[in-house]
């Protein structure tokens, strides 16, 4: 209770070793001079977008493997009544190659011996968990906002080490606001969301193979859609009762903090108009991760500086393995121009 806390706090304040300051202010909150010695983790949304897509183990990089192209065509043929009858038309199995070129995500953390010794919170497990979280964030962000061109689609992505320059992500594959399945959601409605799915052609047929990816802002706005808000239209799952929306037309919704809320009306960041957000409708079997080796977390101690170095890394790539065969289909639909 409060008496126990007051007693503990008095003991901590009176112990100069326990309350000794660190070599930097970055980790001072881990020294036991605060209300509690428990680590108060940042509240983070559970990362789910990167997990929507399968993973392939690659033997090396670069690595090329065949992928399915357009479908074989079967023809109507008549009975062969003579030796010189017309041959059955051929239809070779169409195929294309996918070339995987793994990039490396990596992050390094250095902490002093004093931090490891003086902190009540065990530092090594915490550092490792934060590094792993950083790697997960990199995959989530890059598979949504990735663009490996010299000039990124978002004007604030300029650093060569920015994880959003690793490979092409969902926004780029959608074609942006000019994509085949891009629909302005200035009027955010079920009808317009269905227009996205309709424009995806054969990739939008099966709802269970699709996923909506939304920002928190676009998700909260979706809770107020007329078709799902009230009991008379959506029954006991009405958002006014449940406070959540799990699916639209049988397609699951995933909320990610990496879907941006500071875009312009065309769905990109330009530094001027920052009042819009977006949603994606993705055919998940069309994309795949390719990993070279396993994720690594390595530790070394530098006795000359009295520090411990922890490095986490992973070699991976993200590829579209099914490509649209015509202008009337798309693997990623985009709803843009949503007020954030």
Whether 284 is covered by a domain: the verdict is yes
Dihedral over alpha carbons 179, 181, 186, 191 (to 10 degrees): 170
Whether 10 is covered by a domain: the verdict is yes
Whether 95 is covered by a domain: the verdict is no
- Is 40 a residue whose pLDDT tops 60? no
Whether 23 is covered by a domain: the verdict is yes
- Is 10 a residue whose pLDDT tops 80? no
Distance between CA atoms of 14 and 217, rounded to whole angstroms? 47
By the 8 A CB rule, do 52 and 211 touch?
yes
The tens digit of pLDDT for each residue in 95-106 reads 678 999 999 999
Distance between CA atoms of 289 and 105, rounded to whole angstroms? 14
Cis peptide leading into residue 62 (ω within 30°): yes
Whether 76 is covered by a domain: the verdict is no
In degrees, to the nearest 5, what angle opens at C-alpha 60 toward C-alphas 58 and 65?
A: 55
Residues 109 and 200 in one domain: yes
pLDDT band (50, 70, 90) for residue 224: confident
Residues 171 and 249 in one domain: yes
Residues 284 and 153 in one domain: yes
Query: Which residue has better confidence, 187 or 32?
Result: 187
The CATH number of whichever domain residue 330 belongs to comes to 3.90.1690
Residues 108 and 183 in one domain: yes
- 321: nearest Cα among 98, 22, 63: 98
By the 8 A CB rule, do 117 and 308 touch?
no
By the 8 A CB rule, do 254 and 51 touch?
no
Range of the domain at 1: 1-40
- Sign, CA dihedral 66-68-70-76, equals positive
Distance between CA atoms of 23 and 38, rounded to whole angstroms? 21
Tell me which residue has tokens 């000039």. 151
State the average pLDDT over residues 185-196: 96
Residues 246 and 155 in one domain: yes
Whether 66 is covered by a domain: the verdict is no
Distance between CA atoms of 298 and 296, rounded to whole angstroms? 6
Task: Say what the pLDDT of residue 63 is.
Answer: 92
- What is the token pair recorded at 49? 């977008």
The tens digit of pLDDT for each residue in 117-169 reads 887 778 888 887 788 888 889 999 999 999 999 999 999 999 999 999 999 99
What does the H/E/C string look like for the chain?
Answer: CHHHHHHHHHHHHHCCCCCCCCCCHHHHHHCCCCCCCCCCCCCCCCCCCHHHCEEEEECCCCEEEEEECCCCCCCCCCCCCCCCCCCCCCCCCCEEEEEECCEEEEEEEEEEHHHHHHCCCCHHHHHHHHHHHHHHHHHHHHHHHCCCCCCCCCCCCCCCCCHHHCCCCHHHHHCHHHCCCEEECCCCCHHHHHHHHHHCHHHHCCHHHEEEEECHHHHHHHCCCHHHHCHHHHHHHCHHHHCCCCEECCEEEEECCCCCCCECCCCCCCCCCCCEEEEEEEEHHHEEEEEEEEEEEEEEEECCCCEEEEEEEEEEEEEECCCCCCCCCCCEEEEEEEEC
Whether 51 is covered by a domain: the verdict is no
Please state the domain count of the chain: 2
Distance between CA atoms of 245 and 235, rounded to whole angstroms? 13
State the average pLDDT over residues 193-218: 96
The tens digit of pLDDT for each residue in 258-291 reads 999 999 999 999 999 999 999 999 999 999 999 9
Least confident segment among 58-62, 63-67, 189-193, 243-247: 243-247
Whether 75 is covered by a domain: the verdict is no
pTM, full prediction:
0.79
- What is the token pair recorded at 129? 């968990």
Centroid of chain to Cα 51 = 8
Task: Say what the pLDDT of residue 58 is.
Answer: 94
Residues 28 and 118 in one domain: no
- Is 41 a residue whose pLDDT tops 60? no
């Amino acid at each position: 209770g409060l008496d126990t806390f007051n007693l503990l706090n008095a003991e901590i304040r009176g112990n100069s070793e326990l309350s000794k300051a660190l070599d930097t202010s970055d980790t001072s909150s881990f020294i036991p001079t605060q209300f509690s010695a428990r680590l108060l983790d940042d509240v983070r949304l559970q990362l789910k977008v990167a997990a929507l897509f399968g993973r392939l183990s690659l033997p090396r990089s670069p690595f090329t493997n065949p992928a399915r192209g357009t479908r074989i065509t079967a023809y109507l043929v008549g009975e062969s009544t003579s030796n010189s009858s017309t041959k059955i038309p051929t239809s070779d199995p169409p195929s294309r190659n996918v070339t995987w070129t793994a990039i490396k995500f990596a992050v390094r953390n250095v902490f002093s011996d004093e931090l490891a010794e003086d902190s009540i919170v065990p530092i090594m497990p915490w550092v490792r968990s934060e590094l792993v979280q950083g790697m997960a964030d990199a995959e989530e962000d890059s598979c949504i906002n990735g663009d490996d061109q010299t000039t990124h689609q978002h004007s604030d992505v300029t650093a060569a080490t920015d994880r959003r320059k690793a490979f092409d992500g969902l926004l780029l594959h959608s074609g942006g606001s000019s994509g085949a399945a891009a629909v302005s959601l200035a009027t955010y409605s079920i009808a317009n969301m269905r227009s996205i799915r309709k424009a995806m052609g054969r990739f939008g047929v099966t709802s269970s193979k699709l996923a909506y990816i939304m920002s928190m802002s676009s998700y909260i706005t979706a809770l107020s859609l007329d078709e799902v808000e009230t009991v008379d239209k959506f029954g006991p799952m009405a958002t006014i009762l449940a406070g959540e929306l799990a699916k639209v037309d049988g397609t699951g919704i995933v909320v990610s903090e990496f879907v941006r809320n500071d875009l312009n009306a065309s769905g990109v960041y330009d530094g001027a108009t920052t009042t819009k957000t977006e949603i994606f409708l993705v055919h998940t079997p069309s994309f795949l991760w390719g990993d070279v080796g396993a994720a690594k977390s390595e530790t070394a101690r530098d006795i000359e500086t009295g520090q411990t170095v922890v490095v986490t890394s992973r070699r991976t790539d993200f590829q579209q393995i099914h490509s649209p065969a015509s202008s009337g289909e798309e693997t990623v639909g985009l709803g843009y121009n949503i007020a954030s």
